[in-house]
Structure 1
């Protein structure tokens, strides 16, 4: 497991990642999508496991699910579990936001 640090402070991270907008970052060799909902930050694979559609323009709902714009498959942002549709679960990466910034763990 590799750890990546983004930002140097909690405030800096919150400014860097606009709320409800998905941002793509490169962490090592891997593309990762990052989403902020208030002060919760989620990191996940940037493409839908179903047909590979980009999740950078996906929607979120009140249940903290991301909804693929292509076929409306829904995935739990905390666990990656597919909630609606038939495909593998989405990869999610543990995040920790603290006063020193954001840490993301990538396998």
Structure 2
């Protein structure tokens, strides 16, 4: 569950959920740049998810990886798997991935970037 929206700046990345589905096919990933950050945008059967693109293990682009039936993004270098709902690496071998909330609104699909504290 995303935290209070005042902790985020919201960025429209698609004009609608239909456009997001057309641009990012089911079970696929796409690299987006949001507020100067590389974001891996995922479309899975459970919905849309956003995570920092750099793998916490060694920095490889997660958007070059794949997703699986467990709703995880899999790094293409060393197959580290990160849960798209909570960011946890499945075997606790490295730091968790940084997640960003995704909101579907009547006017589009938005990604929240946490404001500096």
Partner residue, 1:7 = 14
Using the TM superposition, give the Cα deviation of residue 87 of structure 1 relative to its aligned residue in structure 2, in angstroms: 1.0
Alignment RMSD (CA, Å): 1.6
* 1:32 counterpart = 2:46: no
Structure 2: 5+ residue runs without aligned partners? 1-7
* 1:95 counterpart = 2:102: yes
Using the TM superposition, give the Cα deviation of residue 85 of structure 1 relative to its aligned residue in structure 2, in angstroms: 4.7
SS of aligned partner of 1:43: strand
Higher helix fraction (1 or 2): 2
Write the deviation string for residues 56-104 of structure 1: whole angstroms up to 9, x where unpaired: 2212111101111211111101110111251110001000124321111
**Residue pair 1:36, 1:42 contacting (<8 A) in 2 also:** yes
SS of aligned partner of 1:22: strand
Partner residue, 1:20 = 27
Partner residue, 2:76 = 69
Write the deviation string for residues 3-46 of structure 1: whole angstroms up to 9, x where unpaired: 00122222222212222221111111111110111461010111
Structure 1: 5+ residue runs without aligned partners? none
CA distance in 2, matches of 1:59, 1:13: 17
Displaced runs of 4+ in structure 1, greater than 3 A? none
TM-score (norm 1): 0.88
